[in-house]
Structure 1
């Protein structure tokens, strides 16, 4: 989630300061060497205690310690065989042994570097030069928890389909999940939404409640991958209470892999059950988002609200935000 550094957020949340978690200072410092040796030995003894007791009784020993003493020489010998050569020797003797071996080895100077012409002629193709490195960077792998479009569709087969069939398949792909959201947006509309999101990555939207006025929800845009854009919706009341630790009730991802080839972007989202927002209400928030971020030239008032919120302008009025939301219906 976003931090509380946005001036408008600070203005809205002034009455409820964020919780502060006291720093814990009772951590202990342990000797790692002790934990690695003694605890490992204790675990091994505990694991094989029954077998060792049986072995000790079979050979006439009174305890496992007596059995260990009886096999002491054999245990020492096995440890030496398993050890790295020279690891048990004193440091000085190991260094001197290595120096002696190095002095006894014959010295052969390295060969001189081969001229470029000779190297080319030796390969039988003196005119061939190595190809220049590729100038087109590869798309990086998505970070943990982020899914690209290939997680939902076979992109090779999709490339041969018309846009109408892709939209049908995309909606059918999410029809079985009651908490899912999906949509298909033309590239030209997404370009405007993306431009506005880069300028105003945080905003608030109202959610009308019949007979109860409206709830305010906080949204934040993130761009975790070149082919994925995400927007998170959170109750403003929870954001006031928990700040960056607040959990979103709805997460929406926009997949851009087909933007250039098919002229559309595919939208997929998930509504968390039990967080006070249903699927239909999440759809309303998405519709509001498109109306505010997919700005047209005549929508001056919505643009002004976005700018006032981002700048922390004291003239930002929630009442005006509610009036603009009512026009969307």
Structure 2
């Protein structure tokens, strides 16, 4: 499991986001499985287009959903670039010679050449330097954490990071490809409850996995004309976390508050998958930004971002003792009418 130590977290902040009591959320049946109902809204157009393209309605609907998710991921990246004001050029690490050599600015060829919205690992981390000298998985983990601790003026605010064993990631990936959506509750102690309500308040976050293909295995070869070999790395993936109420109101225009990316470039060479979490910076017009240490800076506090990240493994890494959590995830997809919010709260670790 991702622990408090495993994640590179800095300072805590408080966000006054819109919150709901459990009873108010449960009454809204539409929250059980939020999605854009293309088939209901555009049934005839959808059938016609599917027929024209030689696809089934289900295939076309899946493509439309993925296009929607890609738009929201791209929007989150653009918002982060516009408002963060911080350069992504790696800073020299101070801990060791190895650290400084691995965090030199990457080469100009680091940019991705495909249409993926995911920033290439080589634009963040100098893969060439890591390959030029032997690095153990432990050393790479230290470099990865040190790099993110140096962000935001040396505070690390706005980022999460961890290094996962590839076996752990592959187990989660197998589950995620079958069940790519779920909801995670975040407690809101200072929320305004409905009159007469004594139940705790929670804000529910919709999490959505996306898959972006397998990156090429890194190489020190300078032959730019060499034909790339088939990659044996697992797929790169992203997870978007968006307040459920905002998603219901704005669907494809809803801004994710947290984006987690799993970089698999070093999966086969070093047995590691590098996790990077980016909290969306707030804008001046954001109505949900509250007071606190990071007032006006981020849409989500470090503590809440950590809680969401920890629960990815809690619900997607199945093992002995996780049968009830696995059943909840399956029910959310297969029998949403039977999905119980009360059961979800029983299996959520708010002290994570």
Could you tell me which residue of structure 1 aligns to residue 345 of structure 2?
Answer: 322
- C-alpha offsets along residues 67-105 of structure 1, whole Å, 9 cap, x if unaligned? xxxxxxxxxxxxxxxxxxxxxxxxxxxxxxxxxxxxxxx
Asked if the contact 1:18–1:241 (Cα under 8 Å) also holds between the matched residues in 2, the reply is no
- C-alpha offsets along residues 154-194 of structure 1, whole Å, 9 cap, x if unaligned? 22321321111111111111112321111111111101110
2:173 to 194, 216, 222: 194
- Relative distance call for 1:15 and 1:171 in structure 2 (3 A) is closer
Larger Rg: 1
Asked if the contact 1:292–1:302 (Cα under 8 Å) also holds between the matched residues in 2, the reply is yes
Could you tell me which residue of structure 2 aligns to residue 224 of structure 1?
Answer: 212
Could you tell me which residue of structure 2 aligns to residue 258 of structure 1?
Answer: 266
1:152 to 110, 113, 124: 124
In structure 2, C-alpha distance between the alignment counterparts of 1:232 and 1:15, rounded to whole Å: 16
- Relative distance call for 1:237 and 1:195 in structure 2 (3 A) is same
1:171 to 145, 168, 176: 145
In structure 1, C-alpha distance between the alignment counterparts of 2:330 and 2:280, rounded to whole Å: 30
TM-score norm. by structure 2 comes to 0.53
Could you tell me which residue of structure 2 aligns to residue 243 of structure 1?
Answer: 251
Asked if the contact 1:204–1:219 (Cα under 8 Å) also holds between the matched residues in 2, the reply is yes
- C-alpha offsets along residues 278-313 of structure 1, whole Å, 9 cap, x if unaligned? 122111100011110111132111111111101143
- Relative distance call for 1:327 and 1:174 in structure 2 (3 A) is closer
Q: Is 1:183 equivalent to 2:162 in the alignment? A: yes
Offset, 1:231: 0.5
- Relative distance call for 1:19 and 1:317 in structure 2 (3 A) is closer
In structure 1, C-alpha distance between the alignment counterparts of 2:141 and 2:162, rounded to whole Å: 8
- Relative distance call for 1:297 and 1:17 in structure 2 (3 A) is closer
Higher relative contact order by CA 8 Å / sep ≥ 6: 1 or 2? 2
Asked if the contact 1:200–1:307 (Cα under 8 Å) also holds between the matched residues in 2, the reply is yes
Gaps of 5+ in 1: 1-9, 21-139
RMSD between aligned alpha carbons? Answer: 2.7
Could you tell me which residue of structure 2 aligns to residue 289 of structure 1?
Answer: 312
Asked if the contact 1:291–1:328 (Cα under 8 Å) also holds between the matched residues in 2, the reply is no
Aligned residues: 201
Could you tell me which residue of structure 2 aligns to residue 34 of structure 1?
Answer: none
Local SS of the residue matching 1:265: strand
Gaps of 5+ in 2: 1-27, 39-111, 192-200, 216-235, 283-287, 289-298
Asked if the contact 2:259–2:279 (Cα under 8 Å) also holds between the matched residues in 1, the reply is yes
In structure 1, C-alpha distance between the alignment counterparts of 2:33 and 2:238, rounded to whole Å: 29
Could you tell me which residue of structure 2 aligns to residue 136 of structure 1?
Answer: none
Local SS of the residue matching 2:275: strand
In structure 2, C-alpha distance between the alignment counterparts of 1:268 and 1:15, rounded to whole Å: 27
In structure 2, C-alpha distance between the alignment counterparts of 1:320 and 1:150, rounded to whole Å: 42
TM-score norm. by structure 1 comes to 0.56
